[in-house]
Amino acid sequence: MENNTKSNKFFYVILILIPIIFFILLEFSLRIFNYGTDISTWTKITETHYGLNPGLAKRYFSNVKNVPESIQDVFAIEKKPNTYRVFVLGGSSAAGYPFMPLGSFSRYIRQRLEMNYPNKNIEVVNLSLTAVNSYTIRDLFPDVLEQAPDLILIYAGHNEYYGALGIGSMESLGQSRFVVNLVLQLNKYKTTQLVRDFLKFVVSLFHQDDVSSSGTLMSRMAQNQKIEYGSDIFNKGIEQFKGNISDVISMAKEQNIPIIISTLASNLKDQKPFIYDQANDSKNANLVFNKAKKEYDNSNFEKADSLFRIAKDLDQLRFRAPEKINLVIKEFGKNFKVPIVDSDSLLSQICDNRIIGDQVMTDHLHLTLDGYHELGKFFYDKMNQLNLLPNEKPKYVFELQDSMTKENFLFSNLDSTIAAFKLKILKNDWPFKNKNKLSFNSLIKQNNFVDSLAAKSVNNELDWHKAHLNLANYYIKKKILSKFIEEIKILIFQYPIITEYYEMLITELISHQMYDEAYEYLMKNYNISKNHFSTKWLGIVELSRRDFTKSIQFLEESFNYDKNDAQVYYNLAGAYSQIRNYKTALDYINKCLNINSNYAGAANLKSQLENILLNQNKVK
């Protein structure tokens, strides 16, 4: 009897273990054969730097094509002691739409930090993605914390209903926050990806038309287009945001990582409600909006602001965060003692009559470039107030920093044109336009070379960086040096670890004898990659600046990478002759002539050195 009991127990254990072993073997096999898409958080951009994995968005989007990508910020895999590292999380507004990648508020913060703390290694890493919400932030947060940030900034909440996995989104997995977050955890396994792909295949057998690949991402994501204010699904969206961000704050506090959260601004005055209840006057957002307009015209601005906000909340198309989201954010400040930047209030203070409209907005919720600069300033002011800036004296006094950052902000006419075209495309689709949509060629007028590059960029025919590179080469051919420098500086700012851009800029600066300007980028290039180019030209520039010790140091260091450059030997001969080490100088000029017997000026310098040494020997 006892043996039968043991046998039964053993049998049940085997029954339990069989499916577990099966799924372990399945997962192991899928990984060996590299099945599916890599949806890990980070990818190696170089051997030394990480970036957000372009395939990451597949964790959150399974029903739409052309999933969003980040603005491609990078950070060192191994955080150096002198590093100040900030992570930024949010949706398209945090990413800087439509001025991506340069126009986000995080780029303002980064440029201001780099300007004021030149001895610090500044890393401001913006992980924001278009059409994502608090589920994505919560999912990414543990991986962010592992990278030892000094500070985390969050601007999010507009996409809570229609962002990926949101309660009204076509990517929704239901109303249970527990289930959605569990699925996100399981998504990290290849087996889950296999199941999702299988289900997607089965669905495709019955739905041949893939509408998810046409139109703007904004138009594709909204499945439940009518969410009434105060309804169950409305309240679920608020709870979804509150629960996910509460988890995020708790995770940050457990590791003692500072976090700052901002309230959200919307276009109140100049954006009509998209969808409204025409049968019920008290819930008719359009009627309330028109009342707000009348109050505004009668200079009753406080009343107008209140009505504009009510109209926005009654708008049944939930692309703009309701006022309750901002109330929840302010409650985080009270309940969790988290610093809050009230950007909604601060932006209103710089708008006419303190009501937010087209003055700082490009559409229903995305800011103008100046608006994003102000948002960056609000965060920076809070960072300063809380003593969360780098622990050293800034290069410039605080009162001058904002204007200096804006004055020197890296953003060209090409970026402005791309942004303008993006907005035209956005507003040519639902919900801004339901019919009489224009074709791309009718909508986007191309009057010059910049327009043609911008059109190709927004139509996915030309990558952003290639558009800027093409424009830089165009300016060189036209001999417009200042514009060439602007475009290459933009590429360097966007991709600070790509040495080719440094070399393009430095070569052109040196050819125009702009040695001081070249030196700054030579040092940056040298710190990224100690190679023949950087060491050689640092040595030559130091020679022109008459710092012969540094010149010799860099030029001789260049031998580690190339020992057959006649120009290096020639300049070393010049440097040693300046410190009156004529014998060594002669050795180097001979090596120069051995490599290139016709090197310009080398024979003459050799003759001078031989005469000097001959005269010294005669004196002896």
Which token pair is 190? 């290849």
Same-domain pairing of 84 and 232: yes
What pLDDT band is residue 211 in, cutting at 50, 70 and 90? very low
Which has the minimum average pLDDT: 136-150, 206-220, 588-602? 206-220
For residue 407, is pLDDT > 70?
A: yes
The CATH number of the domain holding residue 152 is 3.40.50.1110
Same-domain pairing of 110 and 231: yes
More confident residue, 371 or 10: 371
pTM of the model: 0.89
Same-domain pairing of 469 and 559: yes
DSSP H or E stretch at residue 310: helix 301-314
The CATH number of the domain holding residue 583 is 1.25.40.10
**Looking at the domain assignment, is residue 506 inside a domain?**
yes
Respond yes or no on whether the N-terminal peptide bond of residue 496 is cis (omega within 30° of 0): no
Give the tens place of pLDDT for each residue, 445-463.
Answer: 999 999 999 999 999 999 9
**Looking at the domain assignment, is residue 20 inside a domain?**
no
Same-domain pairing of 166 and 256: yes
**Looking at the domain assignment, is residue 172 inside a domain?**
yes
Same-domain pairing of 304 and 371: no
Give the tens place of pLDDT for each residue, 564-589.
Answer: 999 999 999 999 999 999 999 999 99
d(CA 314, CA 133): 21
The answer to whether 156 touches 81, Cβ cutoff 8 Å, is: no
**Looking at the domain assignment, is residue 303 inside a domain?**
yes
For residue 210, is pLDDT > 50?
A: no
**Looking at the domain assignment, is residue 37 inside a domain?**
no
**Extended strands (E) in 14-82:** 42-44, 49-52, 74-76
What pLDDT band is residue 9 in, cutting at 50, 70 and 90? low
pLDDT of residue 172: 73
**Looking at the domain assignment, is residue 356 inside a domain?**
yes
485 CB-near residues (< 8 Å, 6+ apart): 505, 508, 509
For residue 391, is pLDDT > 50?
A: yes
Strands across the sheet with 340-341, in order? Answer: 121-126, 83-90, 151-155, 259-262, 340-341
More confident residue, 18 or 587: 587
Same-domain pairing of 284 and 227: no
**Looking at the domain assignment, is residue 421 inside a domain?**
no
For residue 349, is pLDDT > 80?
A: yes
**Looking at the domain assignment, is residue 441 inside a domain?**
no
Same-domain pairing of 608 and 566: yes
Average pLDDT over residues 71-100: 96
Q: Which of 360, 376, 407 is the last residue of a domain?
A: 407
pLDDT of residue 218: 63
How many domains, the chain?
Answer: 3
With CA atoms as reference, report the closest residue to 521 among 540, 536, 539, 501: 501
For residue 199, is pLDDT > 80?
A: no
Same-domain pairing of 403 and 262: yes
Domain region containing 359: 42-275+315-407
Same-domain pairing of 356 and 484: no
